[in-house]
Chain A
Amino acid sequence: MLMSHEWLRAFVPHTLSPDELRDLITTHVATVDGVVRLRADLHSIVVARVVQAARHPNSDHLWVTKVDDGRGELLDVVCGAPNVVEGMLYPFARTGTVLPAGLTIEKRKIRGETSNGMLCSARELGLGEEHDGILALDTLGMDVAPGTPFLDAVPVGDVRYEIDVLANRPDLQSHLGLAREVAALTGASLGDPAELFELDAMSGDLRFGDGVRGRVPTAGGEAVVDVYRAGSGGAHVQLDDPDGCPRYMGVVIRGLAVGPSPEWLSLRLAALGLRSISNVVDATNYLLHGYGQPMHAFDLSTLAQSTIVVRRARPGETLVTLDGVTRTLDERMTVIADAERAVAVAGVMGGRDSEVTEATTDIFLEVAYFAPRYVRATRRALGLSTDASYRFERGIDPDLAPRALALAAQLIVKVAGGAVDGQAIDVGAAPSNRARVSITSARVERLLGARVSGDDISRLLSSVGFSVTARGDVASTFDVVAPPWRNDVARDADLVEEVARLRGYDALSDEVMPFRPGTVPDHALHVTGRRVRDALVGLGLFEVRPLPFVAGHDETHVRVDNPLADDEPHLRVSVLETLARRAEYNLSRMQGNVRLFEVGSVFSPRAGALPAETIRVGLLVMGLRSPPHYTDASKDVFDLWDAKALGERVAAVVYPGRPITVGPADGDVVLWRISADGGEVGTIERVALDTPAWASDAYGVEVTLGRMPSAPVAAPGTHDYSAGAPSGLAARQHVTYRALPTMPPAEFDLALLVPDGVTAAEVEHLLRRSAGDLLERLELFDEFRGAGIPPGHRSVGWRLTFRDPVRTLRDKEVDGRRQKILRTLETELGVKPRTA
């Protein structure tokens, strides 16, 4: 929302500088995002008086003047303007001043006469094309002391504020609304801008009489039809859609002359960056931005039968709006129509055929209250947002219409001439939405944490328009009625905010208060996620947080109804699929050593419910296993055995203390399946990538951490928020210590000839079973094929370590076990020892 400093000051005569006002508004009302000094380039120009002017002795068109610039000593200034007059005021650039065009004024001699500065023309100041002479300020009605900064004397140096007005404060969408706050905060008084009344012709004496009220339908009466009608000044209004337009007002003005606006009016709008269009249109924009009441002027002669009908659009009805676009309307939209066709989209934009042109002499001026949700729906349907729709959508002051209409008519007559014909037409009634809320000072103290006296509560609320009545003699409970422009106020918390912000949040204490510990344990998935993240970072992987959108299938993937990109409309079902794309991204940047992981959500569709959401960790590795070093010429890359160990490690970290198995899978993609407590929790995979020839194989691991419960609507107290996952405490790792060994171990190696078709796991299973309880460690240390090994076999070496916790094992005992193991292996698997 753009605001003008000068315009605000026309409503409230405060004495704050722009920076002070910015801070005041930000700390009490709404954030000021920007302060733009519109003519900062003129800040060193001053007003000066020409005390004496004489012809230059060596020139027939130059003057030698004595200038009072307010510093006491008169300055000699040479001037070439034909219109310099003794005693008049002009803008003056002292020596050292830089003019807007970039020229620096220096002391110099002009045809032998010294000149200490320059009297400026409008063009030299960038104020217009006028260059017939210097800018005479007296003719602008100026009477200020020499030395006054030019920008203080002439309102071209306005300051524009960019204010972040949020959805709850539609009242701040006008200078009046913001000025009301400034008045409350500074104590300055609020009033209508003098410019509306002060000058010439119409001196605030415009009267409508009581206005012409529309007939209100009454059940059982003669007007049972749901129609509101009224007419005056030769125009007729019929309100057929009181839902979309609760109140419609208007007045006829005849005999006006459309033309350029006076300078003060153009300047007001220019300060907001708005172009001056014509005196009539500018006047309506003045009321829009000044008072927050959107309004529209129709060329009365273009309205069939001088009639206005407020109704729903007919299906397929079209209208060319002011921006020249042909809009196709539908019956959800409220339109303003004449006797035949739509002439404006209610509250959004007028039509081109009925707009005010230079030829216009009679207008119908519309001032209405359009219902916010209807304007919102229409604006969205048409994709057309305007200053008017923006305000109607958020809700303007429903009581403002009569006053805004009077002011607008007055302003139009003032700037464009003509006269009001008849009385104001007024049909329908604006909704009364003034909230009635009671509040106690105890409640204010309990929520704010600061004692605010009843008097202060009453004073602060009253200052911004609330009517406050103390209940009983002790001023501690108040009945409060919100002003009509505050549609955001509904309950006492809203009043607490009013008190707090008007008092200033700064006034509150900065002392951290004692607190009771909370009842919520750390979420288990967070605890586990952090633990697995720390482990993987320690193993040299990078955590990533990529976008989770993929191209999937509606059967298997959750589809986003309104996706950002049509080529990736689905949510991922696995972390690995996004990691694979990230790996390809790195490969395309010639980065082949990729080690990525993510702990994140994956989604799968569930009929009639929110998608099933699961938290998983995924990792992807490819490229060199370790940074190259000169001592090791080999360039080993990650292979499936690295992937298997990473999978085992991740599973152990995610499921501490639980039995984990990693079993071979029969797939080209899935190499192993990981189970914990007997249930499958993840996979170890070969990851297919779109890879360049130089890239090595990529491997991935994905392990489920747990389900994220997501009941769509839970009844209080019955919610399964923490169900489906262990508590944070249970997810923490608790280890039970095993006593350190005191007895010596006994070890031996077995080199076994394993026939093809027999797996290492089968051999190990037998080894463990036949070795008995005293087997402490079983380590596969070698695999060999080739010379000396019978065809169809491989030699695999295991080292077995035995230990008895309380005694030393005897050689005979250990050898006995060895023999038993070998017998079992040969009998059950056909595995024999390899003989030297």
Chain B
Amino acid sequence: MTLLEFQLACSALADEAPALINGAMSLDAWGEVRNALLGRKAGRLTELMALLPQLEKEERRAAGAAVNTLKQKIETWLDAAKAALESSAPPAPRHDLTMPGRAQWKGAVHPVSLVIDEICDIFRELGFTVALGPEAESSWYNFAALNFPDNHPAMDMHDTLYLKGDGVLRTHTSPVQVRTMQAYPPPVRILAPGNVYRRDFFDATHAPVFAQLEGMAIDEGITFADLKATLAHFARAFYGARTPTRLVPSYFPFTEPSGQMEVFFDVGDGRGERWIEIMGCGLVHPAVLEAAGLESERYSGWAFGMGPARIAMSRFSLTDIRLLYDSDIRFLEQFA
């Protein structure tokens, strides 16, 4: 017998022994297992030790150490098992299994985050990653770089909260478009979820801060048809494979052509099925590409923006948007 064969035999027994010991459910059984492992006559370990003389002399020392280690392990396991068997309580009375289980507190992701996650999951399959940008933004990124004409009625759609100097609280997530295009070369495929701010009253249907989710794809050869197809794919993945969708004209300073994706469904407000706008979108305006330092003749791209809070309102049948902000435990735990 070689040393290697001996060591293999040791480790085989080391693997096997715990199962034998753990199988002993009474002290009698434990005694039998102990005998089978360490018994003087036919104990497995005893038999291993008896093989030692068959080894070459210079190998016996290492083999002896191995078998001793194994012996100690087995004795430790046996002692622990015996102690457990001796201390175990008398058999418990039958439980009333209809009694309640012992729970842990459950936590929950915020409903708006649930919607954001679901949207991101769908676009991730189409190669999109997540980009972020600051909420305290410069007016250049929030307006000028996005082709907002100075002092124009288009600004009326963005009732802005201003900070000292040139700062604003971003009125949309679109500034992330420009920041990302400046930082990374095309192709770019990003989603940008985040909070945006409007100077709006806080009532059942309005909030001054709300989540928005921006998406943008920039490369050579990106087309309006590609935008329409991608958003229709999203809408069907999100609302159901047979949901009718349509893309109709709209206006945003930073896209041209512009559109809005509409979905025909019942938002649950009692008015039945109808066309509901779910996002604004369009080809990124060449002036925006240029502001971000890209050649507008070479690259094109599309972008969309949607409101996860509004989607959460209809998806979860909420009647008051303030529920999303109040942080009432009784509301939040419904999403656990």
Contacts and interface: CB of A to CB of B under 8 A. Distances in A.
B256 A376 contact: no
A540 B104 contact: yes
B163 A558 contact: yes
B226 A541 contact: no
Interface stretch (B16-24, B84-92, B185-193): B185-193
A449 B108 contact: no
B109 A28 contact: no
Interface stretch (A227-235, A467-475, A592-600): A592-600
A716 B251 contact: no
B72 A559 contact: no
A708 B134 contact: yes
A710 B221 contact: no
A601 B135 contact: yes
Contacts of B315: none
Contact of B195 (A523, A601, A719): A601
B163 A497 contact: no
Contacts of B187: 515-519
Nearest to B333: A542
B250 interface: yes
Interface stretch (B27-35, B37-45, B47-55, B121-129): B121-129
Nearest to B330: A591
A613 B134 contact: yes
A457 to B, nearest CB: 14
B188 A520 contact: yes
A494 B324 CA distance: 39
B127 A517 contact: yes
Given A496-B257, A542-B333, A449 B225 contact: yes
Contact of A505 (B134, B195, B249): B249
Contact of A710 (B106, B134, B257, B336): B134
Given A547-B209, A708-B133, A520 B228 contact: no
Contacts of A538: 107
A496 B256 contact: yes
Given A543-B109, A610-B137, A611-B163, A27 B327 contact: no
B319 interface: no
Interface string B196-210: 000111100001110
Contacts of B258: 497
Interface string A112-152: 00000000000000000000000000000000000000000
Given A167-B154, A522-B129, A585-B326, A505 B107 contact: no
A594 B327 CA distance: 10
Given A167-B152, A167-B251, A594-B329, A510 B136 contact: no
A560 B105 contact: no
B328 interface: yes
Contacts of A632: 102
B282 to A, nearest CB: 8
Interface stretch (A308-316, A336-344, A623-631, A777-785): A623-631
Contacts of A376: 151, 153
B68 interface: yes
B303 interface: no
Contacts of B167: 610-611, 712
A519 B188 contact: yes
A540 B165 CA distance: 42
A585 B322 CA distance: 13
Contacts of A601: 134-136, 195
Given A449-B224, A627-B103, A708-B132, A560 B126 contact: no
B146 to A, nearest CB: 13
Contacts of B103: 626-627, 629
A542 B138 contact: no
A506 B245 CA distance: 10
Contact of A719 (B113, B182, B328): B182
B69 A27 contact: no
Interface residues of B, number: 110
A259 interface: no
B179 interface: yes
Contact of A721 (B180, B207, B228): B180
Nearest to A508: B225
B137 A541 contact: no
Nearest to B228: A508
Given A31-B260, A545-B110, A716 B182 contact: yes
A563 interface: yes
B248 interface: yes
A510 B226 CA distance: 8
A394 B68 CA distance: 94
Contact of B208 (A541, A564, A608): A564
B249 A508 contact: no
A226 B186 CA distance: 54
Interface residues of A, number: 109
Contacts of B200: 564
Interface in A170-192: none
Contacts of B207: 547
A596 B326 CA distance: 12
Centre residue among B126, B136, B166, B249 by max chain A CB count within 10 A: B249
A589 B180 contact: no
Interface in B292-318: 292-293, 300
Contact of B209 (A448, A512, A548, A717): A548
B107 A595 contact: yes
B180 A543 contact: no
A631 B80 CA distance: 28
A509 interface: yes
A29 B249 CA distance: 6
Nearest to B150: A373
A500 interface: yes
Interface string B147-186: 0000111101100011111110100000000011011111
Contacts of B223: 446-450, 513
Contacts of A521: 129
Contacts of A562: 161-162, 199
A807 to B, nearest CB: 8
A709 to B, nearest CB: 7
A496 B246 CA distance: 19
Contact of B127 (A515, A522, A571, A626): A515
B169 to A, nearest CB: 7
A540 to B, nearest CB: 3
Nearest to A554: B164
Contact of A586 (B126, B152, B185, B328): B328
A809 B225 CA distance: 73
Nearest to B257: A497
Contacts of B73: 744
A447 B283 contact: yes
A547 B309 CA distance: 14
A714 B325 contact: no
Contacts of A630: 99-100
Centre residue among A168, A446, A626 by max chain B CB count within 10 A: A168
B126 A558 contact: no
A511 interface: yes
A204 interface: no
21 contacts: A167-B152, A394-B153, A497-B249, A497-B257, A505-B224, A517-B187, A518-B127, A522-B130, A545-B325, A547-B202, A547-B207, A558-B164, A559-B163, A559-B164, A560-B169, A582-B326, A595-B107, A610-B136, A611-B167, A613-B134, A744-B72
Given A545-B112, A585-B326, 18 more contacts: A26-B248, A29-B249, A446-B300, A505-B259, A510-B232, A520-B180, A520-B190, A541-B105, A543-B110, A543-B113, A545-B113, A558-B136, A560-B162, A562-B162, A585-B328, A596-B329, A708-B135, A713-B140
A-B CB proximity, top 5 nearest:
A716-B293, A449-B223, A540-B105, A449-B225, A497-B257
Interface of A: 26-31, 166-169, 373, 376-377, 393-394, 446-450, 491, 493-494, 496-497, 500-501, 505-506, 508-513, 515-523, 525-526, 533, 536-549, 558-564, 571, 582, 585-586, 589, 591, 593-596, 600-601, 603, 605, 608, 610-611, 613, 626-627, 629-632, 708-710, 712-717, 719, 721-722, 728, 743-744, 807-808
